[in-house]
């Protein structure tokens, strides 16, 4: 996040004004309207990159229930990255494709795609996530400020912390139960000896 990017407000407003075409159902099998690999290919070419059709293979869906949200988030990435700022500054195709493939999977696993349009904090999270993955920070922020704010909004990190917390609580509960069983056994042994 060393390079300064666009104003965050510009990106969040752009997300809030996402056109219906980018909110339509992604094509998975014979269902849906928007063929995501074509949108991604157009975006990369529009940003001055070259696309090998094999690079787009991971952007198709096979299972409606599993892939719908991931592909919907990828479409939101495409809409955001079509902003004039990115057009003027150009992007390297490899990190861009990595963001579009992996980023959609990461955010899509935690948050419903519609929240990135309707919820101001989720819009900010998506914009910051995209900028960070491409090595940018919002204009007017230091790298430390940008990282701190991204960390505080990060749904993926929040889910990881909650899972770790659940595991720690589960472990503490098992230890308490084991100690209670041991105390009951010692009490029964003592009672038997007397």
- 40-93 tens-digit pLDDT: 999 998 888 888 888 888 888 888 888 999 999 999 999 999 999 998 987 877
Give the angle subtended at the CA of 156 by the CAs of 97 and 20, to the nearest 5°. Answer: 60
Higher pLDDT, 178 or 6: 6
88 located within any domain? yes
The answer, as to whether pTM is greater than 0.85, is no
What pLDDT is attached to residue 174?
A: 83
Q: How many domains does the chain have?
A: 1
Residue 44 located in a structural domain: yes
Does residue 162 carry a pLDDT above 70? no
Residue scoring higher pLDDT (69 or 162) = 69
111 domain residue, yes or no: yes
Report yes or no on 90 lying in a domain.
yes
Is residue 71 in a domain? yes
C-alpha span between 24 and 34 (Å, rounded): 7
Question: Does some domain include residue 40?
Answer: yes
Quote the domain boundaries for residue 48. 3-153
């Amino acid at each position: 996040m060393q390079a300064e990017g666009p104003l965050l407000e510009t990106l969040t407003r752009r997300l809030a004004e996402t056109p219906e075409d980018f909110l339509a159902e992604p094509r998975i099998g014979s269902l849906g309207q928007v063929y995501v690999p074509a949108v991604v290919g157009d975006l990369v070419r529009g940003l001055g990159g070259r696309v090998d059709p094999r690079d787009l293979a991971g952007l198709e869906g096979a299972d409606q229930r599993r892939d719908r949200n991931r592909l919907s988030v990828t479409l939101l990435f495409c809409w955001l990255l079509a902003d004039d700022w990115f057009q003027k500054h150009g992007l390297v195709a490899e990190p861009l494709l990595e963001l579009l493939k992996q980023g959609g999977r990461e955010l899509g696993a935690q948050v419903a795609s519609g929240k990135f349009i309707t919820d101001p904090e989720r819009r900010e999270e998506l914009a910051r996530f995209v900028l960070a993955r491409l090595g940018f920070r919002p204009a007017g922020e230091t790298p430390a400020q940008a990282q701190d704010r991204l960390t505080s909004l990060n749904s993926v990190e929040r889910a990881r912390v909650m899972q770790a917390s659940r595991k720690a609580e589960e472990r503490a509960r098992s230890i308490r139960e084991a100690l209670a069983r041991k105390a009951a056994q010692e009490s029964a042994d003592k009672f038997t000896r007397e």
